[in-house]
């Protein structure tokens, strides 16, 4: 590569490292998300808003990674002095646009986790208000962050091409808000990782089940660590003279954070698929009993217990506000306990521990076909 003055440059090039990290993390996240989609589509035939949100998060993450790949092609990871003016402008253009995709990818990834938790705390008003408040704050703070990225220059294209006539805010304005957004992002990662542990620990279930669920839901702590490291590197946002090289560490950690959030959000719903993979299928006697135990619910829908899940597992919730898409291909799943919908990681005990009193009553009529004895 030649510098702007035509001399050969041997300056550092971190673009290979960036591409390796980005696409490796994408591959892992894509495999786990595909497993979640297969679980929802083929195993339980039911989708929720949390599934839609995590898919949107992945789409935005792919856009982010693709834009950064295009930026690398034009010189991201290299010093500005080793690039032509056209390369420097194009590299910065794709880099800046990718930042908006990253912010909203992490946003919808966390929204997916919150919607998942809302299906557990269905009867706790205070906890639901708390989770809705966190979700609203995430939406507002991240939306404003996107505005500060693209609204700091008028016209926006002046952000990556200083030859365009216009004006921009002082760089520290956007950097300072990015510090605030990054700090809140790390806080929300930790909150969404630790909070479920306290919720689960109060429920009536075995310690082994509590420990397993707590460990799975606490995976967000890893994403919190990535968010903290990313926030430390936000100071590079003011280094506009060598932007293609100075922001490379920040770019690596922003991608790491978004894919860790997707991975952590996708693991908990894989319960039913893992049961099948581990060979936990019912015996012939269980399948036979399920056949003759089916009844009618509300006179229309048939109540069945899925043959691939043990009846003592924690599976169901009738909470429709957070799981309105449970109907898939024109039908809904109704489980053996009379409830509708599904929470995958064995959450029937969660529902049972939150409810008290008479759960279900059955009226039985007995008639005799024999004539009375005179």
pLDDT in tens, the chain (374 residues): 434 443 434 445 678 888 999 999 999 999 999 999 988 888 877 788 999 999 999 999 999 999 999 999 999 988 888 889 999 999 999 999 999 999 999 999 999 999 988 887 777 788 899 999 999 999 999 999 999 999 999 999 998 998 899 999 988 888 889 889 989 988 988 888 888 777 777 766 677 766 776 676 667 788 888 888 888 877 666 666 788 888 888 899 989 989 999 998 888 788 777 777 776 654 333 434 444 344 444 444 443 444 444 333 333 333 444 444 443 343 334 344 433 444 444 444 444 444 444 555 555 555 555 555 54
Contacts of 82 (CB under 8 A, 6+ apart): 1, 2, 3, 9, 11, 75
| 3-state secondary structure at position 311 | coil
> Fold for domain 15-274?
Rhopdopsin 7-helix transmembrane proteins (1.20.1070)
With 0.75 as the threshold, say if the pTM is over it. no
User: Residue ranges per domain, the chain?
Assistant: 15-274
- Across 169-319, the runs of DSSP E, i.e. the strands, are 295-297, 301-303
Task: For residue 51, count CB atoms less than 10 angstroms from its CB and return exposed for 0-12, middle for 13-18, buried for 19 or more.
Answer: buried
**CB atoms inside a 10 Å sphere around CB 348:** 22
């Amino acid at each position: 590569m030649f510098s702007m003055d035509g001399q050969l440059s041997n300056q550092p090039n971190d673009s290979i490292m960036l591409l390796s990290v980005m696409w490796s993390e994408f591959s892992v996240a894509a495999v786990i998300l595909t497993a979640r989609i297969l679980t929802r589509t083929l195993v339980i035939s039911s989708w929720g808003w949390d599934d839609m949100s995590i898919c949107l998060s992945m789409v935005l993450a792919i856009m982010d990674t693709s834009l950064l790949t295009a930026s690398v092609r034009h010189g991201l990871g290299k010093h500005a002095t080793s690039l032509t003016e056209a390369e420097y402008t194009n590299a910065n253009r794709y880099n800046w646009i990718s930042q908006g995709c990253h912010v909203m990818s992490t946003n919808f990834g966390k929204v997916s986790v919150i919607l998942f938790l809302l299906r557990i705390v269905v009867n706790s008003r205070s906890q639901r208000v708390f989770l809705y408040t966190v979700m609203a704050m995430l939406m507002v703070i991240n939306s404003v962050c996107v505005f500060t990225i693209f609204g700091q220059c008028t016209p926006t294209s002046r952000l990556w091409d200083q030859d365009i006539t216009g004006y921009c805010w002082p760089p520290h304005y956007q950097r300072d808000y990015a510090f605030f957004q990054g700090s809140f992002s790390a806080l929300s990662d930790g909150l969404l990782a630790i909070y479920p542990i306290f919720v689960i620990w109060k429920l009536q279930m075995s310690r082994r089940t509590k420990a397993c669920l707590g460990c799975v839901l606490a995976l967000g702590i890893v994403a919190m660590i990535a968010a903290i490291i990313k926030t430390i590197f936000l100071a590079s946002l003011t280094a506009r003279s060598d932007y293609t090289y100075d922001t490379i560490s920040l770019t690596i950690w922003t991608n790491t954070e978004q894919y860790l959030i997707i991975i952590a959000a996708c693991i908990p719903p894989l319960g039913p698929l893992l049961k099948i993979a581990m060979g936990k299928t019912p015996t012939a006697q269980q399948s036979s009993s399920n056949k003759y135990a089916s009844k009618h619910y509300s006179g229309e829908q048939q109540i069945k217990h899925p043959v691939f899940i043990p009846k003592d597992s924690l599976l169901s919730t009738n909470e429709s506000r957070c799981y309105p898409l449970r109907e898939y291909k024109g039908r809904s799943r109704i489980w053996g306990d009379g409830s509708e919908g599904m929470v995958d990681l064995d959450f029937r005990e969660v529902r049972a521990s939150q409810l008290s009193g008479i759960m279900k009553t059955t009226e039985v009529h007995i008639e005799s076909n024999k004539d009375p004895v005179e």
